[in-house]
Structure 1
Amino acid sequence: MKLLFLSIILAFSIVTANAQQINSVDKLTASYIGVKDALVGSNAELTKSRSKELLGTLTAFPVKTLQPKQQKTYAAYLEKLKYDSRHISETTVIDHQREHFQSLSKNMFALLSGLNMTSAPLYQQYCPMKKAYWLSESKDIRNPYYGEDMLECGKVTATLKVAAK
């Protein structure tokens, strides 16, 4: 009976830890999407604010809840993501924000691919005019590099599928 009870507690702990990890990845993804959406609207002040939120989410991420391989992946991209988030959050020059968003998007895609913990599909999209990628929660193209000027310029190039539970 004790063994059964301990097994149930262990299983519950594992499920709870997995849910916490996915929740943290979802929060990170939502913060990134907030930056992207602000750039789509060409709103430099909102982009600055959302980038500060992303920086905070990156810093507060519960890395120790990840598996060792995932921790290594997170560590490999953390400083790069923080660097670009910080630069975006320190300016209201939209072209400079978009320049750093290009690198931010590349590294965010690599991080989320390596963690393999998304609870909803994400779409990597590509702007042929800028020769740059970004992530979106929708297949609809809303180009953050040109905003209203070329809102629908781009295509879906890859999909990050929902993590297996």
Structure 2
Amino acid sequence: MKNICYLISVLFFFSYYQTKAQNSTTAINQVLQAYFGVEKALVNDDSEMANKQATVLVNAIEQVNASKLDDRQKADWTKYNEKLRYNSQHISESKSIAHQREHFAALSDDMYSLFKNFKTHPTIYRQYCPMKKQYWLNDAATIQNPYYGKQMPDCGKVTEKMAGSSSVILIK
């Protein structure tokens, strides 16, 4: 009987932490998906859609409950969430695509720093625009440049492939 109680306790704790991890992973990955929405809008030179997607991103950021993150994730989230919100808010309010792209550059740097440590995401590609000397994240290896949009859609290169549950792979 003692062993059964112990087994039930272990199963309970395992399922509790599994659920907690899934909930925090879902919230964080919604931030990433919303970021990709902003990125795609800028690739398409669509300032209005960038506004809408940035609003989705602000809302996704606000939905992350830091208390459900492990200690390392909580520290990273605390370090970057306000920066993410600030740049997303500016993109959502600006009508100038050039201004949106300026904030997108800062947003991309912070997203990279956050997701490089989280490891809860699907595969992400870090890409670089040599003309702007700026990075961004993409959900595909194919270059889709958000800084030049339709003017130079394939300008850039993949510099890193970040696999969520495995180590970061550098691409040369």
TM-score by length of 1: 0.95
- The answer to whether the Cα contact below 8 Å between 2:145 and 2:152 also exists between their aligned partners in 1 is yes
Q: 2:42 aligns with which of 39, 43, 46?
A: 39
Deviates more, 1:126-135 or 1:67-76: 67-76
Q: CA deviation at 1:112?
A: 0.9
Residue 55 (1) aligns with residue 54 (2): no
Q: Deviations over 1:91-143 (max 9, x none)?
A: 1110000011000000000011122221x100000000010000000000000
Q: How does 1:1-165 map to 2 (within 5 A)?
A: 1-118=4-121, 120-163=122-165
SS in 2 for 1:3: helix
Q: CA deviation at 1:49?
A: 0.8
Q: What residue ranges of structure 1 are gaps of 5+ in the alignment?
A: none
Counterparts of 2:11 and 2:72, CA distance in 1: 26
Residue identity in the other structure for 1:159? K
Q: What residue ranges of structure 2 are gaps of 5+ in the alignment?
A: 167-172
Q: CA deviation at 1:163?
A: 2.0
Q: CA deviation at 1:79?
A: 1.4
SS in 2 for 1:156: strand
Larger radius of gyration: 2
CA RMSD of aligned residues (A): 1.0
Counterparts of 1:128 and 1:12, CA distance in 2: 47
Deviates more, 1:48-57 or 1:7-16: 7-16
Counterparts of 1:44 and 1:144, CA distance in 2: 11
Give the fraction of aligned pairs with identical amino acids, expressed as a percent: 34
Flag the structure with more relative contact order, 1 or 2, with Cα contacts below 8 A and sequence separation at least 6: 1
Counterparts of 2:91 and 2:108, CA distance in 1: 12
Moved over 6 A (4+): none
SS in 1 for 2:154: coil
Residue identity in the other structure for 1:114? N
- The answer to whether the Cα contact below 8 Å between 2:24 and 2:64 also exists between their aligned partners in 1 is no
